Amino acid sequence: MERARPLPSRRRLLKGAALAAVPYTLLNGTRADARAAVDYPLAEWQPATPLNYTLSDRPTEYSVDRVVIHVTQTTYATALSIFQDPQKKVSAHYVVGSADGHVAQCVREADVAWHAGNWDYNTRSVGIEHEGWVDQPAYFTDVMYEESARLTAWVCDRYGIPKDREHIIGHVEVPGTDHTDPGPLWDWVRYLRMVNFA
């Protein structure tokens, strides 16, 4: 007659269940590239390579008090591929599509994206790229403005950032930049109205 194996203890079962709940990538010491990585609930996770941003613990390590508005000067898909290319040394927290307003998150808000060309502004801001070109206003669609305004309002609410032009700025306004985006065709009056009513 075979002897029955003892049943595992309750404690052992609970420990096993807890380990099963931890993503495998976290056990390896890296961040999980899962849906849980998204800060903004309406975004899709499209991670930049970790070589294109700085790991941080914002707002504990750096306070967040700005949103920087960018225009990609390329397509949505190309912008994502640039952020995934370790030789480019650039990233943003979010990219907003022109045709459908789709939002991709590329860098966690806790981390410092390399988007502003100014370390101080990188550490204190969330960077939002918009698909298009500064001299082609057809890319600035209603749905892009709407989804971007909703995202910016959400970021401002999350960090207590005032929804005004002093705190929601264009890349062109970052000290020391040589960029012109979002350009003179970006409708700031409309955008800020939308942010405040989102």
Higher-confidence residue of 167 and 2: namely 167
Whether omega for the bond prior to residue 59 falls within 30 degrees of 0, making it cis, is yes
Strands 103-105 and 94-96: antiparallel
How many CA atoms are closer than 13 Å to the CA of 96, on its beta-carbon side?
26
- Could you give the percent of the chain with pLDDT greater than 90? 81
How far is residue 80 from each of residues 9, 35, 64, 176, measured CA to CA in Å? 49, 17, 23, 25
CB-neighbour burial class of residue 158 (10 A; exposed 0-12, middle 13-18, buried 19+)? middle
Using the predicted structure, report yes or no on whether residue 51 has a pLDDT greater than 80.
yes
pLDDT in tens, 73-92: 999 999 999 999 999 999 99
pLDDT in tens, 92-149: 999 999 999 999 999 999 999 999 999 999 999 999 999 999 999 999 999 999 999 9
Question: What's the predicted TM-score (pTM) here?
Answer: 0.83
Position 75 scores a pLDDT of 98
Position 36 scores a pLDDT of 55
Beta bridge partners of 105: 45, 94
Beta bridge partners of 74: 132
- Classify each residue of 8-24 as buried b or exposed e, where b means 16 or more C-beta atoms within 10 Å of its C-beta: eeeeeeeeeeeeeeeee
